[in-house]
Amino acid sequence: MDKTNPGNFFEDFRLGFEIRHATPRTVTQGDIALYGALYGSRFALASSAEFAAACGLAPQPVDDLLVFHLVFGKSVPDISVNAVANLGYAEGRFGAPVHAGDTLIATSKVIGLKENANRQTGIVYVRTRGFNQQGETVLDFIRWVMVRKRDPHSEPPPAEVPETAPFVPAQNLLLPMGISFAHYDPVLSGSPHLWEDYRPGERIDHVDGMTIEEAEHMLATRLYQNTAKVHFNQHTEAGGRFGRRLVYGGHIISLARALSFNGLGNAVKIAAINGGRHVAPCFAGDTIYAWSRIEEAWDIPGRPDLGALRIKTFAAKDHACGDFPGDTDAHPQLVLEFDYTVLMPRRF
Amino acid sequence: MDKTNPGNFFEDFRLGFEIRHATPRTVTQGDIALYGALYGSRFALASSAEFAAACGLAPQPVDDLLVFHLVFGKSVPDISVNAVANLGYAEGRFGAPVHAGDTLIATSKVIGLKENANRQTGIVYVRTRGFNQQGETVLDFIRWVMVRKRDPHSEPPPAEVPETAPFVPAQNLLLPMGISFAHYDPVLSGSPHLWEDYRPGERIDHVDGMTIEEAEHMLATRLYQNTAKVHFNQHTEAGGRFGRRLVYGGHIISLARALSFNGLGNAVKIAAINGGRHVAPCFAGDTIYAWSRIEEAWDIPGRPDLGALRIKTFAAKDHACGDFPGDTDAHPQLVLEFDYTVLMPRRF
Amino acid sequence: MDKTNPGNFFEDFRLGFEIRHATPRTVTQGDIALYGALYGSRFALASSAEFAAACGLAPQPVDDLLVFHLVFGKSVPDISVNAVANLGYAEGRFGAPVHAGDTLIATSKVIGLKENANRQTGIVYVRTRGFNQQGETVLDFIRWVMVRKRDPHSEPPPAEVPETAPFVPAQNLLLPMGISFAHYDPVLSGSPHLWEDYRPGERIDHVDGMTIEEAEHMLATRLYQNTAKVHFNQHTEAGGRFGRRLVYGGHIISLARALSFNGLGNAVKIAAINGGRHVAPCFAGDTIYAWSRIEEAWDIPGRPDLGALRIKTFAAKDHACGDFPGDTDAHPQLVLEFDYTVLMPRRF
């Protein structure tokens, strides 16, 4: 009996199947420190328990993207160990805040399947949910990946492609219980720019760049217990597609988010992940830059203290973003488009 | 008066001497996160406080090998700072589980001494014990190292070589108080294979490989407060035996153990370290693979919920382990043989 | 409206201005672990909660230099983002101990301004204070940096250069509430040398060397939320002054301090930072060595259990320090002079 897990191939997925993922994971204060050291994030809510408490959030929630990576990581052994590419995300929505001490588990439901024309691969659509130890949903999102078939000649299932919303509408966002920006201190947070100061169409160059080291992206990816082989094994990758270990796409999302502090310092809470596309692969030695475009600004009814912004953050490698690469057309250095919604304090 | 510590030479050890090692070390939740990021371990017991509690272990014990490295590290300044080689381990047995918040100290007793024929070095055998702040033994083990003599002409002590057991017998294993796998969830743990599914002689290729970076092994070795110079100083090592910094052997043990999850996912608790041999040195850039052979499967009387497996895990560098290198004869890429005993849930 | 922060130029500083710095930061047990892994420090007080409690310090204080880096880091976006060089420190004094769970904020007051002769830059002197969530001062220090002018033709303010003390006098040192070395255990601490054993003028070679990796200094600098660009962006630095990322000077201070354990193992508590000079830049690949000279030994009136030592620790790169580089004249490999005061147990 073979004891090692070969992962699922396209043929192994059935529409409607629900998979309970392995490896429950207790989030600790160690994760907070390590996540900070990996990205240098300075958003005040995830940096300071006192600041969080002043925003009605005690105990302090951990960084939203740390939650995303942990939940995503759980799904990898079942969903994407045999994936060729991580194609997209949609309808990501954060629920109950996650605190040090919480234990996360995850499930995925297969919501779409479509064989590719070459019959070598197929696209698998799943809705992945992360839960805390009380069974509360902390995050759910749709992602779709291109997965190898075990046998190109096997019969495909009937094609089923789910409709996904282009973004999570404002009325569906979940506000963490108790959150209030009525006493928000924009000096402490590091930015004077509040919700009213951003206009749809506005573009912000985040200026700074961050170079990636092998040790860093591997530490991060292991922290998330993400087991995708391409990130870790130079002995194999030397003979692979790129000759090098591939950086986990989520690492680029977190780098871009940390860089975006310079210009979006009060975007302290991510409420939704509307979509994302890893436009090109990244490798150790690449320097990541980012810029953002404000897509929409939404009132939250009954909330004079906060509003929502839908933002698209673009990351490029080895290319400073003062020219807003990817804004109007494809750009050879573009590596990421990430569409998300944040909560931001208003003038009160 | 010279203030720096030259470490002990072979002549400094006396049979029966007991050494209290320095630097008490409080284990924190930060250690859990960092250990996770360094190896990507996914054994559920050390990953999840909830899973541990469901196994009767609350608060959650930290990874057994983290305990080993911390206790080992304490012994380095007194035992092996002037060592040429770390030759072997025996009779390692884990006792009281270690939790975040516990403070570890260690002692070593000299149990054997034997000058080598060349009179340049001698072998020192010690039994090292780690204790928590309540004085409970958390781990004890024998190791022997080859240590430089201060003076080749000095008179050696009478040779005394201790007999060491080939392995810790089942009846001597210590079960953590309260441990029960009666409600063990093999979906959450990530492997359907329980104790009954493993047979002595069975060989398991753990498939995946992990490449080592300088920053990673140095972070790990410093985390354990292991001060052996060869791991840290490229300026000196450039002119040394290998021209490069040597990776701490324990780093390879932890990498092999993390890789072994793929095939031994329910080997959640190490109860004993029966032996170990660092067959060849490792360096940054090496990719570590591992495979395991089941040596013995033991019933634990009165415990229908769990059994013990004695396992030998082999690690090789830059060589995938599908051909089980080292199984029947020496293999040039083999770097580690590690013989240990785990507790595993049974069908209940 | 430009949303990104260009940082302050020389013209933006006014004598007497007080700046509240951004990004409150909660210190966690994760910081303790990560700081340990970055430097391998073995001073018992910051390593063990039990040892700290036996010294009257419960809960356990975190490493003093971690506090320094965190407070320093907060000041960077306002003070030194446009700095050409970090010129010096003076009058640094530690106050209330910092524990895991504390949240740090910082302010800086401009206490001196002086345009340089070339009119391109000016020197800004600030007194920076770090506070915990109760408003207690945890550290205050003076530093001065050379900052670019926005416009060489702009009128400079009247020159004002503050007088700084050459060191913090013994009677101004702050002892943490409750501290007592009456029951100090020098076996556990790892050094038999107490306060009485050190004599002004004594020189100690700390022997060991530590090689720096890019991933390590970047992890450290991000952990401190220090945003100075030169540390992170190889894409820009490739065309810069050195062609490489510059290591944060504070990283060298912490490396030298960790190395100094070998010879100063009972210098468990830093009470003051009297001065410091980053003599030359450091880069990944450099191996740091250190040696120390005892400058002064002070009685603390009414304290038979402890005394103070003023120490100057020198760090050199790629040069073992047995010849005490920098002792009597300039040395090409010298990178750091760091003058500080420690508390040390006395024979009781």
ipTM for the predicted complex comes to 0.97
Cross-chain Cβ contact A3/B193 below 8 Å: yes
Q: Nearest residue of A to residue C31 by CA position?
A: A33
pLDDT at C100: 98
Calculate the average pLDDT of chain C: 96
Q: Above pLDDT 90, what percent of chain A? A: 95
pLDDT at C6: 85
User: What mean pLDDT is predicted for residues B62-88?
Assistant: 94
Q: Nearest residue of B to residue A25 by CA position?
A: B48
Cross-chain Cβ contact A235/B287 below 8 Å: yes
Cβ contacts (< 8 Å) between A209 and chain C: which residues?
Answer: 229, 232-233, 235-236
Taking the CA atoms of B14, B20, B21 and B22 in sequence, report the sign of the dihedral they define: negative
Cβ contacts (< 8 Å) between A219 and chain B: which residues?
Answer: 37-38, 216
Chain C closest-CA separation from residue B348 CA (Å): 38
Cα distances (angstroms) measured from residue A20 to each of A74, A107, B82:
9, 4, 51
Q: Is the pLDDT of residue A211 over 80?
A: yes
pLDDT at C85: 85
CB contacts under 8 A, A 39-58 vs C, are 39-40, 42, 44, 47-51
> Phi-psi region for residue A223, left (φ > 0), alpha (ψ -120 to 50) or beta?
alpha
CB contacts under 8 A, B 115-144 vs A, are none
CB contacts under 8 A, C 244-273 vs A, are 245
pLDDT digits (tens, 9 = 90+) for B85-123: 889 999 999 999 999 999 999 999 999 999 999 999 999
pLDDT at A2: 87
Calculate the average pLDDT of chain A: 96
Cross-chain Cβ contact B193/A1 below 8 Å: yes
Nearest to C189 among B22, B100, B229 (CB): B22
Burial C125-150 (b: 16+ CB within 10 A, else e): bbbbbbbbbeeeebbbbbbbbbbbbe
C68 shares contact with chain B (CB less than 8 Å): no
Cβ contacts (< 8 Å) between B247 and chain A: which residues?
Answer: none
Q: Nearest residue of C to residue A214 by CA position?
A: C215
Q: Is the pLDDT of residue B318 over 70?
A: yes
Cross-chain Cβ contact B42/A30 below 8 Å: no
Report yes or no: A47 and C26 within 8 Å, Cβ to Cβ.
yes
CB contacts under 8 A, B 191-210 vs A, are 191, 193, 197-198, 204-210
Nearest to A44 among C24, C234, C236 (CB): C24
Nearest to C33 among B221, B223, B234 (CB): B223
B285 shares contact with chain A (CB less than 8 Å): yes
Cβ contacts (< 8 Å) between C37 and chain B: which residues?
Answer: 34, 219-220, 222-223
Cross-chain Cβ contact C34/B30 below 8 Å: yes
B101 shares contact with chain C (CB less than 8 Å): yes
User: What mean pLDDT is predicted for residues A238-266?
Assistant: 97
pLDDT digits (tens, 9 = 90+) for C132-148: 999 999 999 999 999 99
pLDDT at C82: 84
Cross-chain Cβ contact A188/C105 below 8 Å: yes
Cα distances (angstroms) measured from residue A235 to each of A80, A286, B206, B285:
21, 20, 15, 9
Q: Nearest residue of A to residue C107 by CA position?
A: A188
Q: Is the pLDDT of residue C1 over 70?
A: no
Cross-chain Cβ contact A48/C31 below 8 Å: no
Nearest to A234 among B48, B207, B211 (CB): B211
Instruction: Supply the Cα-derived Rg of chain B in whole angstroms.
Output: 20
pLDDT digits (tens, 9 = 90+) for B128-147: 999 999 999 999 999 999 99
pLDDT at A46: 96
